[in-house]
Amino acid sequence: MYFHSINLSSLEYYFKKWPEFYLLVFLCFLSIRLYLKTKNQVLVHWPIVGTLPSLIQNAHRIHDWTVDISNSFGGTIVRKGPVFGSFEILFTCDPCNAKYILSNNFSNFHKGLGFEETFDILGEGLLGVDSHFWLAQRRIARMTFNSKKVRNIIANTGQKVVQDALLPLLAHVAKQSSVVDLEDVFLRYTFDTSVSIIFGRNPNYLSTSFPSNKFAKAMDDATEAVFYRHIVPSSWWKLSRRLMIGSNERKLKKAWTTIDQLLTKYITAKREDMAKGTEESDLLQVYMGLKEGEKNDQLLLKMSGDKFFRDTALTYLFAGRDTTASGLAWFFWLVSKNPCVEAKILEELKLVFSKNTKGEYGLTTKKCPWVFDADDVTGLVYLHAALCESLRLYPSVPLIRKGAREDDILPDGTVVKSEMMVIISTYAMGRMEWVWGKDCLEFKPERWIDEDGKLNHDILSKLISFSLGPRVCIGKDMAFVLMKLAASAMLFNFHVEVLEGQNIQPTPSITLKMKNGLMVRIRERVVL
C-alpha cells in the first residue's frame, strides 16, 4: 500500500532533473537483489563497500563468525577490505602461518597501519609501538619480570588478595545464598591485584559491598570505544574524534581524562614514597629505581619521565586485568559443565593440601578457608592443563592484528602483500578439527598432558593465547600465577553452581568477555 501512495510525478521530476537518479535507483535495486540472494552466506564481497555489510551483519557475533569463515573457506583467505575495497585483508587460523608471522619471520610483520592511532590511549607502551623504543622497553620488561623481586611481588600480592578479599567475598555470598556475577567478581579481583602489583595500593574494588570505581569504569569505556573503532571505517571514527561527535569518541575522551588524572595521582604518590626512602614493593617503584646502566643511554631521558611511567603502567593494567578475568570466567563455566574435570582438579589439590598440613588436621575436615601459595600452584599439572584447555577454546585475546612490511609467502603458500592487514583468529584456531582432531570442541585437559603425567611441550607450543616469538606476553607467567591462585582456592573451598538457562556467549570486544556475565550461586565445600 505504501508503494501505491508514492507520488509518481515526483519520481518523474527526479529522473528529469538528475539523470544520475537512474544510476542510484539501479544500484539500490541491485543491492537489494544481492542482499536477498546472499543474506545467509558467511562472507560476501559487495560492490563499492566490499565486506563491510557482512562485517556489520555479524558484528554482534564476530568471533563465532571467524569460525564460520574458516569452516567455509579454509584456514587462510584473502579478501578486499570493508572500506571501498581500498586494501586487502588476510585472515588465517592456521597454526603454522601464525607461528611464521609471530615468530619465524617476526621482523616482516609489524603492528599494522593505523594500529598506534587506533590504540592511541596506550601511548608508547609495549603494546602500542614497534620502533627501537619498543626493543629497549622489551629488554627492560623481560629483565624486570624475570627478577625474583618482581615474581615475589606478584605471588605475594595475588595470595593476599585471594585470602583477604576474594574468599571472604565468596563466603559472604554463600552465607547470603545470593546470586552473583562471577565474571564481575574476577574483574574486581584482577583490578585489585593489578593495581596493587603496579602501584602498591589496593583500591579494594573486590569488596562485599561491590563498590563502584571510576578507574575501572574508565578502563571499560576505553576498551569498548577502541573495539568500536575496528568495526566502523577509520575515516568515520577519525572524523568523529576530530569534531568530537558521536557517543563513542566522547566516551573515550572522558575515559582518557579520568585515566590520566588517576595515573598522575598514583605516579606522584610513588615519587613521594621513594623520596622518603620506602622499600621497593611494587612494579612502578622497581621501574623508577632502575639504574642508568640498566637503560639504553639514548632513551634514558624518555624512559625516566612521567609520560613513560604513565604509558607503561596503563599498558600493564590493560594487559593484565581483562585478559586474566575473562580467562577465569570461561574456565569456571567449562569446569561447571564437566564435573569429572572438577573432581580431578580437587584430587590434585587434596594431595597438595595433605602434604602441606602433614596430618595436622588428621581425618577431620579442614578448619578454615585454605589458600595455596605460588609454590603450591606451580606444581599443579592438571589445573594448568585445564586452564590451557580453557584458553584454547576461549582465548582471552581472540584476534591478533598485524601488517606486512614487504611481500611474503606463508607456509601454506598464501601470498602476503606489503601493508596488507593480517588477522589471526586464535578463537577459530581452537575450534578447527584439522588442528585439534574430531574432539576439538570438547573440554579435555588431558590433551595437554603426556604419558609421563607431565605437561606436553609439543602441544603447549600450539597455544598462542599469549602470542608467540619476540612479542610473547611478558606477563604470561604472572597471569597463570594469578589464575591458579584464585582457581585453586575457590575450587578447594567452594562449589560454584552456574545458574541454568543462561545464554553464555562471547561479547564483541578486544578481550573475550561474556556477553551477559556468568551468574552463579556459591556454596561452601566440605573437603575430607
**Mode of pairing for the β-strands spanning 88-92 and 421-425:** parallel
Please report, for the chain, the start and end positions of each structural domain, with discontinuous segments joined by +. Answer: 15-104+398-430, 105-397+431-524
CB 206 within 8 A of CB 169: yes
Amino acid (one-letter) located at 319: A
Look at the pTM and tell me if it is higher than 0.85: yes
Q: Where is pLDDT greater, at 458 or 133?
A: 458
Residue 416 has pLDDT above 60, yes or no: yes
* Cβ neighbours of 58 (radius 10 Å): 18
Q: How many helices (H) and strands (E) does the chain have?
A: 22, 10
If one compares 60 and 15, the residue with the highest pLDDT of the two is 60
Q: How many CA atoms lie within 13 A of 69 on its CB side?
A: 28
- Could you write out the three-class secondary structure of 90-127? EEECCHHHHHHHHHHCHHHEECCCCHHHHCHHHCCCCC
What is the predicted pLDDT for the residue at 41?
A: 67
**Torsion sign, CA atoms 305, 310, 313, 316:** negative
Q: What's 105-397+431-524's CATH class?
A: mainly alpha
Percentage, residues of the chain above pLDDT 90: 60
What is the side-by-side strand order in the sheet with 494-498? 179-181, 519-524, 494-498
Please state, in angstroms and rounded to a whole number, the distance separating the CA atoms of residues 349 and 134. Answer: 40
What does the pLDDT average to over 370-378? 92
Residue 334: which of 220, 511, 487, 489 has the closest Cα? 487
pLDDT above 70 (res 90): yes
pLDDT tens-digit readout, 273-302: 888 887 778 999 998 887 655 555 555 556
Average pLDDT along the chain: 86
Kindly tell me if the per-residue pLDDT of 422 is higher than 70.
yes
Distances 270 to 11, 280, 285, 314 between C-alpha atoms, Å:
70, 10, 7, 15
Could you report the per-residue pLDDT of 437-461, keeping only the tens digit for each?
999 999 999 999 999 999 998 899 8
Q: Is 473 annotated as a binding residue?
A: yes
CATH class in words for 15-104+398-430? alpha beta
**HSE on the CB side for 493, CA within 13 Å?**
22
Q: Can you give the pLDDT at residue 462?
A: 87
Bigger pLDDT: 190 vs 41 = 190
Residue 150 CB partners (closer than 8 Å, separation 6+)? 144, 283, 286
- CA end-to-end distance (rounded Å), the chain: 74
Cα Rg of the chain, angstroms:
26
d(Cα 482, Cα 500) in Å, to the nearest integer? 28
pLDDT (0 to 100) of residue 361: 47
Smallest CA-to-CA distance from 77 within 89, 86, 59 is with: 89
What's residue 50's pLDDT? 63
Is the pLDDT at 258 greater than 90? The verdict is yes
Burial class (CB in 10 A: 0-12, 13-18, 19+), 527: middle
Residue 353 CA to residue 156 CA, distance in Å, equals 19
Lowest mean pLDDT among 148-157, 217-226, 361-370, 425-434: 361-370
Q: What is the mean pLDDT of the segment spanning 224-250?
A: 87
Residue 316: pLDDT band (50, 70, 90) is very high
β-strands 415-416, 494-498: how paired?
unpaired
